[in-house]
Structures are given as structure tokens and as C-alpha cells.
Amino acid sequence: MSQLSPRDIAVLEERRQAECTVAAALVSEPVAGGFMSVSGPGSWTNQACGLGLAGPVAEAEVDRLVEFYASRGIEPKLEVCAFADETLLAALAARGFVLREFEAVLARPLTAGEAFAPALGWPAGITFARVDRKDRAQVEAFVEASTCGFRPEGAPVPEALADASRRMIAEARTECFLALDGAAAVGGGSLDVGEGVAALLGTSVRASHRGRGIQQALIALRLQAAQARGCAVVCIHSRPGIPTERNAARMGFALVYHKVALVRPGPGLEPSP
């Protein structure tokens, strides 16, 4: 993979994810070596990331996490990396946290001078644009196109999702790319850059344009951007076995570690996405 071990990559990537979530959220606090964030009901930013990688976790820290969310009427949720200290797992189990889903983290190293192109070639008739965060119309086109795969076709973008996306786009750490068929935005994806590591996020392609290699092209463009930003490693988070994982493998990504999303359901608590 690179000179970095899987644990080294996990430490960098989990910290990057936590910082990215902080940038997109309305409220955040440090906890157990990571951060817990929240923006209100329905927001993907309602989660804690990066916990337990700096050593043992005090039970009081987990109690503070539970209160942070429960006091706002939101189901406590966190993502736990395979390298997290086992004291974190014990404290979560004792407080009734349960498994919500699995996630695979894939990564690939970047080398100076390496060229990137889609494995299937650049899609015919499609152009690509880097989003200008000062161009309001382009930002809104990106928000709509890049989230189309995360909601029912034809449904409007939930306001919580749109707001978090706009806050991310406004950050210098984030670069966004649109796929265009003529003037129509048919897909998009983001690059988030942390310390020594970057991640490809939130990629969607409209159903009418899938199967044409657009997702791979968006991966190649963001690898170029990460290389230009001096990143040593780029990561992709994926549910196991979905097309994203297969496209990433074709572009040189390999599995580095797994993580799980854990939640603590309770009466009157708004479920976290």
C-alpha cells in the first residue's frame, strides 16, 4: 500500500473524517481523542468520529457523548475503527449501543509524477468542471447532482443535507467536481484534504447517465487534485460490495480496514442517518 501501515492510515483518515464532519456541522466538541458533531434532526453530521485511537477511553467520555446527543433529542451515533482501543467498545456495549452498519475503508498511495485516468477511458460527451465556491448557481447545481444517489429519484434535497454540503463546499480543505452533459449537471463528487491524507466523498451520478464511466472519471480527477495538494494517501469509504467499491478497485484502491456504525436507540430520539 505505502510505507504507512494500515493503523497509520486509519489514524490519519479517522482524524480527517472527524475534522471534515466538524467543518460541516453546526456544533462540535472533542471527545475521547475524536470529535462529536451535530446539526439537528436528519443531518449526516450527527455522528462522532475518530474516538479511541489515542489510547484507553474513560467511561465518563462515553457518558458525555450520550448526553451530547440525547439532550438534543437525537440518537447517539458513532463510527468505530477496527484499531480503536477496546475500552471504547466495552463502554459502548455497557451502555446499550448496537450495530447499525459496516463500512470498508479503501486506500491507495499517490506518487509524484503519477498520471491518473479512468480505467474505462474518459466518458464520451461528458465534460468536467471544478466548482467555484463563489458561484452560487454552480454550488447549488453541485449540491443537487452530488446528492442524487442518496435520496429517491426526483425527490428534493433534504435541507439538512443541502446545508451541510454548502458548509463543506465553503471550506478551503474541500474541492468539488461536476460532471456535465452539455449544461446539465449529471454527477459530482468531493475531495476532502486532511494532514497527509485525502478522501473522496459524496459521489453520485444520475440514473440516466450511469454505466458510462463517469464515477471513475470523477475518481481520476480527484486523485489528480489530491496529488497536487501533496497528499501521500487517498481513501474511499464504502458499504461492502456496492459499485463504489468495485470502481475504486479498478482505480488502484485496496481494502485497508473496516469500521462499524454504532447507535444507541431510545424513546423520543430522532434516528441518525
What integer pLDDT is reported at residue 3 of this predicted model?
83
pLDDT tens digits along 39-94:
999 899 999 999 999 999 999 999 999 999 999 999 999 999 999 999 999 999 99
As a whole number, mean pLDDT of residues 223-245 equals: 93
* Alpha carbons 110 and 223: distance in angstroms, whole number: 8
Secondary structure E strands in 32-173 = 34-38, 47-49, 77-81, 98-109, 127-130
What integer pLDDT is reported at residue 267 of this predicted model?
95
In CATH terms, 6-104+258-263 corresponds, of 3.90.105.10, 3.40.630.30, 3.40.50.150, 3.90.226.10, to: 3.40.630.30
* Res. 1: pLDDT tops 60: no
How distant is the alpha carbon of residue 39 from its chain centre?
Answer: 16
Which sequence spans correspond to the domains of the chain?
6-104+258-263, 111-231
CB 41 within 8 A of CB 160: yes
What integer pLDDT is reported at residue 242 of this predicted model?
87
As a whole number, mean pLDDT of residues 201-224 equals: 95
Sequence-distant (≥ 6) Cβ neighbours of residue 273 within 8 angstroms: 42, 43, 44, 46
What integer pLDDT is reported at residue 40 of this predicted model?
92
Task: Kindly indicate the confidence band of residue 268, based on its pLDDT and cuts at 50, 70 and 90.
Answer: very high
Third-level CATH fold of 111-231: Aminopeptidase (3.40.630)
Domains 6-104+258-263 and 111-231 share a fold: yes
pTM metric for this prediction? 0.93
> Which of the two residues, 138 and 119, has the higher pLDDT score?
138
